[in-house]
Amino acid sequence: MSWNRKHLLDIQSLTADEIVTVLDTARAFKAVGERAIKKVPALRGKTVVNLFVEPSTRTRISFELAAQRLTADVINFNSEASSLKKGETLKDTARNLEALNADIIVMRHSASGAPHFLARFLRASVVNAGDGAHEHPTQALLDAFTVREKKGRIAGLNVTILGDILYSRVARSNIWAYTKLGANVTLCGPATLVPKVFEQMGCRVTYNVEEAIAGADIINLLRIQHERQRKTMFPSIGEYASLFGLTQARLARAKPEALIMHPGPINRGVEIDSQIADSGRSMILDQVTNGLAVRMAVLFLINGGKGPQEVAA
């Protein structure tokens, strides 16, 4: 057993052992989700606040259901209808939530490092649910859980991450998790979105999608983020689809047992062919189910006894 952390802020600072602890714990919570009564009293009397200062539906719903299945009380705080719109600082908002005796704050923010900032002065535990282009740790944990569940292991597997790497917090967390667990990671996408600097994280970088797919055990697609896409990064969605989209023809060159993953929401016909998304090789819905189990595990683990904690002013 190796979990003594109060917060889950990123994958970068976790050891492989800690990651495996989350995955092992999540196995037990996945079994809870398969029962008639999908609820356990592990967080009874605790309050979880979903502080989402950036729009999100699936991650928030997943955390909300995870907290409810642990019998915690849940408050959803979303940016559109909040005091942040009235000029309150993030620190004041968080202190107000803490004044309500929140035990765990799950935070999504457009600024990298925002959860780390909160964690420095809050007595509550902080879970990063995505910060800017920095990290999205629970996504990487649920992806690793899914890979281990389907393939029986992670070490030695060839994992290809295909798409917008540069602006993707999912990609960064995935790279940390997969490399710490011993997988060989290949990154591929338009050169503007996959800078060579990622080789410093221990990845192979290629701009040839056929080469990236050949030999892969896992093809982890990333969404083309229309809403944040800089116009200059690639000429058009159509061109991206034709150059980097996962088509039947391209998939035919992969290993027959290669599995497809995608954090969702998927853009059918852009990064993934519609038939592939619906095929038995697609793990997309397994990822959603496993996400719930992994988030229950994370909330359970960080709720574990906290000794005296240093809290900054």
Partner 1 sequence: MPKATMILDAAAMQRALMRIAHEIAERNEDSAAVALVGIHRGGVFLARRLAGMLSGILSLTVPVGTMDIGMHRDDLDRQPAPTLQPTAIPFDVTGKTVILVDDVLFSGRTTRAALDAIMDLGRPKRIQLAVLIDRGHRELPIKADFVGKNVPTSLDEQIRVRFREEGGTDEVTLEKHGGA
| Contact call for residue 6 and partner 1 (CB under 8 A) | no
Question: And the tokens for 169?
Answer: 């917090």
* CA distance linking residue 174 with residue 183, whole number of Å: 11
| Contact call for residue 210 and partner 1 (CB under 8 A) | no
DSSP per residue, 24-53: HHHHHHHHHHTSSS----TTTT-EEEEEES
Least distance to partner 1 from the beta carbon of 3, Å? 6
Q: Cβ of 196: how many Cβ atoms within 10 Å?
A: 9
Which of left, alpha, beta for 156 (phi over 0: left; psi -120 to 50: alpha)? left
| Contact call for residue 41 and partner 1 (CB under 8 A) | yes
| Contact call for residue 65 and partner 1 (CB under 8 A) | no
From the centroid of its chain, how far is CA 268?
Answer: 21
**Of these, 31, 100, 285, 311, which contacts partner 1 (CB under 8 A)?**
31
| Contact call for residue 17 and partner 1 (CB under 8 A) | no
199-224 CB burial, b ≥16 within 10 A, e <16:
eeeebebbeebeebbbebbbbbbbbb
**Of these, 15, 28, 100, 242, which contacts partner 1 (CB under 8 A)?**
28
Least distance to partner 1 from the beta carbon of 120, Å? 22
* SS3 state at 133: coil
Piece in contact with partner 1 (CB under 8 A), picked from 26-34, 83-91, 222-230, 231-239:
26-34
**Of these, 12, 20, 33, 40, which contacts partner 1 (CB under 8 A)?**
40
Least distance to partner 1 from the beta carbon of 301, Å? 5
**Of these, 27, 150, 151, 255, which contacts partner 1 (CB under 8 A)?**
27
Type of residue at 190: P
**Touching partner 1, residues 271-300 (CB under 8 A):** 300
CA atoms within 13 A on the CB side of 19: 27
**Of these, 10, 29, 143, 193, which contacts partner 1 (CB under 8 A)?**
29
| Contact call for residue 195 and partner 1 (CB under 8 A) | no
* SS3 state at 213: helix
| Contact call for residue 123 and partner 1 (CB under 8 A) | no
Piece in contact with partner 1 (CB under 8 A), picked from 11-19, 28-36, 93-101, 167-175:
28-36
**Of these, 4, 96, 192, 274, which contacts partner 1 (CB under 8 A)?**
4
**Of these, 13, 21, 229, 289, which contacts partner 1 (CB under 8 A)?**
21
Nearer to partner 1, 238 or 304 (CB): 304
Piece in contact with partner 1 (CB under 8 A), picked from 8-16, 20-28, 185-193, 206-214:
20-28
From the centroid of its chain, how far is CA 52?
Answer: 15
| Contact call for residue 35 and partner 1 (CB under 8 A) | yes
Nearer to partner 1, 41 or 256 (CB): 41
Start-to-end CA distance of the chain, whole Å, equals 32
* CA distance linking residue 64 with residue 70, whole number of Å: 10
Contact 288, 62 (CB under 8 A): yes
* SS3 state at 197: helix
Interface residues with partner 1 (CB under 8 A)? 1, 3-4, 21, 24-25, 27-32, 35-37, 39-43, 46, 300-306
